[in-house]
Amino acid sequence: MDNIKEQTLKAADAFALKGQIKSCRSYGSGHINHTFLLICEENGQEYFYILQQINHIVFKDIEGLMKNIKRVTSFLRNKIIENHGNPDRETLNLIPTKNGENYYQDSQGYFWRVYLFISHAICYNKVEKPEDFYQVGKAFGEFQCLLADFPTDELVETIPHFHNTPARFVTFQNVIEKDIIGRANEVQEEIRFIREREKEMSLALSLQKQGKLPLRVSHNDTKLNNIMIDDITGQALCIIDLDTIMPGFSIFDYGDSIRFGANTAAEDEKDLSKVSLSLSLFEIYTKGFLEGSQGSLKEIEIKLFPYGAKMMALECGMRFLTDYLEGDIYFHISRGEHNLDRCRTQLALVADMERKWTDMETIIQKYRN
Ligand code: ADP
Ligand code: GN1
Ligand code: MG
């Protein structure tokens, strides 16, 4: 516990935990929040929690964000109980502070929350068994159905225009223009690649404006390490990282999972020859997502699955490059060119998707009926 700051322990102490804090260490591989595994002990019994310092630079309205999470998890909890599931494991459970609040703000202005730790389950950074990816697809498909009757107007937009790719492009252009730390010159090839695809970026929003593409309650950050797989049953147990739950498009929930999980390389792989779209993983996820969504998706949404996958990779690549050009102020990094490496894998994946477009469409055709 030596290298965990006093500030972290003080924050942990603000919550109504069982027992005494025994250990606290950094945990997980998220890019946004600071996450800790907290172990407490009482009468020889251990209690596990997840403590998080919420990134308030990224999320400007923490109160609104925490209200979203409370509302959505309470809603899911009721559904899980109705279905005779285990509400302590199948959704996130917030632990209140000693004052009964959902989060705690410390004297330096940092925001903290605590969840029950979901034990005997794992978050993968890479698909190890294709069956797991099928389970992930099924769970994210079901998630949309479960939330289909959630009152959308109760949700705060925690990051406005989160998957508004054209708006992200405008920011990207402005950042290149300013080039505050002089990195733009070395990334001309990546800039050109993204600019060449600008026209494609507005399709989803324009279809929505025409009333053809529905806005749904979506997760918006459906990468593999935001879902827990049960150690014993091998089934997807719990969808986590609910910070970006807000109205969005099903094709982007589908697509973001493909972007991360169907890539044959890690998101930050330096050797781009390892990056490709695995069509077999693409297929198994598609099967799972469509089964999970139980016929609730419109024809146009299914047809746009390849587009959703490509846009999520392109947008994410553009966001990593934007952050690289701004001096790495958004995503956590652990090496100098981390964001640039991440950008390059995403763009290589986009290029591979373009090569495999017909194959993707054929696979979707196979499962759409
Ligand atoms: P970030 O926004 O930084 O990605 P996450 O909420 O995804 O933060 O948490 C980071 C990691 O912490 C997850 O990928 C997962 O490994 C772990 N984690 C988060 N919540 C829980 C939980 N309730 N139980 C077990 N592990 C968790
Ligand atoms: C971030 O929080 P995390 O690590 O699950 C990001 C996503 C990106 C992803 C790229 C709030 O997700 O949008 O797709 O990194 N989350 C936010 O790995 O910006
Ligand atoms: Mg996460």
Question: Per residue in 188-212, pLDDT tens?
Answer: 999 999 999 999 999 999 999 999 9
Joined tokens for residue 88: 């302590």
pTM of structure = 0.96
Tell me which residue has its CA closest to atom 23 in ligand 1.
Answer: 117
CATH 3.90.1200.10 placement within the chain: 130-368
- % the chain with pLDDT above 90: 97
Cα(33) to ligand 2 centroid in Å equals 10
Which ligand ends up closest to the CA of 58? 2
Cα(55) to ligand 1 centroid in Å equals 13
Dist. CA 86–CA 237, nearest whole Å: 10
Dist. CA 252–CA 260, nearest whole Å: 12
- Of the pLDDT bands very low, low, confident and very high (cuts 50, 70, 90), residue 368 is confident
CATH 3.30.200.20 placement within the chain: 2-119
Residue 177 CB burial class (10 angstroms; 0-12, 13-18, ≥19): exposed
Q: What is the pLDDT of residues 291-318, one digit of tens each?
A: 999 999 999 999 999 999 999 999 999 9
Q: What is the pLDDT of residues 52-110, one digit of tens each?
A: 999 999 999 999 999 999 999 999 999 999 999 999 999 999 999 999 999 999 999 99
Per-residue model confidence (pLDDT) at position 152: 86
**Which CATH architecture describes the domain 2-119?**
2-Layer Sandwich (3.30)
Ligand 1 near 247 CB (within 6 A): no
For tokens 């910070």, the residue is 243
Crossing angle between the packed helical segments 165-178 and 305-326, to the nearest 10 degrees: 20
Strands 94-95 and 111-116: antiparallel
Dist. CA 38–CA 22, nearest whole Å: 8
- % the chain with pLDDT above 70: 99
Cα(201) to ligand 1 centroid in Å equals 30
Cα(28) to ligand 1 centroid in Å equals 6
Atom of ligand 1 nearest to the CA of 225: 14
Choose one of 15, 24, 240, 267 to mutate for the ligand 1 pocket test, by most ligand atoms within 8 angstroms of C-beta: 240
Superfamily of domain 130-368 in the CATH hierarchy: Aminoglycoside phosphotransferase (APH), C-terminal lobe (3.90.1200.10)
| Residues at CB less than 6 angstroms from ligand 2 | 30-32, 58, 221, 223, 226, 241, 243-244, 267, 316
Cα(146) to ligand 3 centroid in Å equals 21
Which ligand ends up closest to the CA of 36? 1
Crossing angle between the packed helical segments 188-195 and 165-178, to the nearest 10 degrees: 150
DSSP symbols for 164-196: -HHHHHHHHHHHHHH-TTS-GGGGHHHHHHHHT
Tell me which residue has its CA closest to atom 18 in ligand 2.
Answer: 31
Q: What is the pLDDT of residues 203-258, one digit of tens each?
A: 999 999 999 999 999 999 999 999 999 999 999 999 999 999 999 999 999 999 99
CB proximity list for 363: less than 8 A, separation 6 or greater: 279, 282, 283, 286
- Of the pLDDT bands very low, low, confident and very high (cuts 50, 70, 90), residue 3 is low
